Amino acid sequence: MLETIYLTAAIVAICVFLLCIGIIIKGKFPNTHVSKNKEMRKRGIGCVQSQDREARKKNKHAIAEVEKDKKANN
């Protein structure tokens, strides 16, 4: 039983070490953000955070609610 735990810990340690080597060689951590992926952008797929930020932007062409009520009453 203890041998299995040691073997599992060794395999996990080797995997983490190999992943770290890739980061060290490239000199930076890989960018996993959806909006930076060219193929995702080609397909029109974006990040939920980016889409939310765009949806929350105030539209300069929008009619204010107060103005809508005034036009409806006239």
Res 48: pLDDT: 81
Res 69: pLDDT: 54
pLDDT at 4 over 80: yes
CB of 41 closer than 8 Å to CB of 35? yes
Question: How far, in Å, CA of 11 to CA of 14, rounded?
Answer: 5
Tokens at 25, concatenated: 């060689």
Res 6: pLDDT: 97
CB of 10 closer than 8 Å to CB of 2? no
Query: For the chain, what are the domain ranges?
Result: 1-30, 32-74
50 Cβ contact list (under 8 Å, min separation 6): 35
Tokens at 40, concatenated: 């995702």
Q: pTM of the prediction?
A: 0.43
Between the alpha carbon of residue 59 and those of residues 13, 40, 62, the distances in Å are 51, 26, 5
Q: Give the model confidence (pLDDT) of 11-53 as tens digits.
A: 999 999 998 988 888 888 777 777 778 888 888 887 888 778 8
